[in-house]
Structure 1
Amino acid sequence: MSTLPQNKPQNNMTYKIECVVRSFLSIVDRVFALLAISALLGIIAVVLLQVVSRFMLPSSPIWTEELSRYLFIYLIVLSSGLVISRNRHVRLELFQAALNPVWTKIYHIFCHLLAGSFALYILPYAIKYAQIGRWQTSPALEVPMYWAFLSVSFFFALTAFYSFMSVLLILLDRDNQGVSS
């Protein structure tokens, strides 16, 4: 037998909003997971090319090390939002087990709001930092360093987005931690 209220309009509306938000986040998660997997596969291909070329060719391409470094940076950036959405980020959990479900929920909201607010605060500075790269090019690939520096802006934007979406989901989730909305 279900313990959830069946006919309350606000609960039904909350459930619909939660479903829409979860569906949207599922699509966004898949896009970023696909991009992160692509970056990882790119790293594997570039490093394999570098290793094979060192042993089988007279010289190895110079650009492989640089490209693998940039792919690694973007792998971390693209994965950062997925870490937040799955609640796997680093945070103080020393006293969390002693909290009751309501305080645990409040603690999670606080952590996400703190991380998201910090990311929003830093984001304009990260964008200014990326602008520095417009006048520089990478040594081997000769691409604008703007793309490497822009990874910092992407990181803080994803952190803010996923942190605030996590807060929204915690507030909408009636079954989370046994607390009803």
Structure 2
Amino acid sequence: MKKFVKVYNDIMTYIALVCLLGFVISVLIQVFSRTFLPFFPSWTEEAARYLFIYMVAFGGSVAVRKNEYVGVEILSDMLPEKAQRILKIAILIALAVFSGYVLINSTMGFALIKYRMVSTAMQIPMQYVYGSLLVFFGLLVFSYILEIILVLTKQDTRE
């Protein structure tokens, strides 16, 4: 299980890094062309926005696994170890259920309905943009389930 979780984290990290690199390149092209050229490509702003959205989508699951989301632990640290584990599992279950709820509603509300629309500058179908909701919340649900399993089996794979 530890090896699977490590490979999963590595894959999500690399995909998020590729999106970050594309985002930075797109912004640099935009800044350079607006500063030094008489014209600028219109697609760079949209590309930067969409790459940023997908970077957050893939990076979110890594944040769950590395416990990097903001949390208040002052009260839970006062509890005995068994109560801490129970509280952590309850919180993870609540977060997984909430993410699953948003996943189901975002599928019908955005990703499937917007298939006819295209973006203004890049002319790509908006279903790929709104599909980031499916990716983000799907990966969150999967990551929370992995985390619940690891807490129940008392395995810690944090790096």
Structure 2-normalised TM-score? Answer: 0.92
In 2, the alpha carbon distance for the partners of 1:174 and 1:119 equals 23
Share of identical aligned residues, percent?
Answer: 30
1:38 aligns with 2:18: yes
Match of 1:139 among 117, 120, 128: 120
Whole-angstrom distance in 2 between the partners of 1:76 and 1:174: 26
> Paired residue for 1:162?
143
| 174 and 47 in structure 1: CA distance in 2 versus 1, 3 angstrom threshold | closer
What residue in structure 1 maps to residue 52 of structure 2? 72
The root-mean-square deviation of aligned C-alpha atoms, in Å, is 1.6
Secondary structure in 2 matching 1:60: coil
Amino acid at match of 1:51: V
Checking the alignment, whether the CA contact within 8 Å between 2:150 and 2:156 is kept in structure 1 is no
Q: Which runs of 5+ in 1 are unaligned?
A: 1-20, 177-181
* Secondary structure, aligned partner of 2:112: helix
Q: Which AA in structure 2 matches 1:134?
A: Y
Q: Quick check: 1:59 aligned with 2:39?
A: yes
Correspondence 1:74-153 to 2 at 5 A: 74-128=54-108, 129-153=110-134
Alignment partners' CA distance in 1, 2:36 and 2:72: 49
**1:36-85: per-residue Cα shift (whole Å, max 9, x none)?**
00011001111111111112211111110111000111111100000100
1:58 alignment partner, SS class: coil
TM-score (norm 1): 0.82
Is residue 172 from structure 1 mapped to residue 153 from structure 2 by the alignment?
Answer: yes
**Aligned twin of 1:13:** none
Q: Which runs of 5+ in 2 are unaligned?
A: none
Post-superposition offset of 1:94: 3.8
Bigger CA radius of gyration:
1
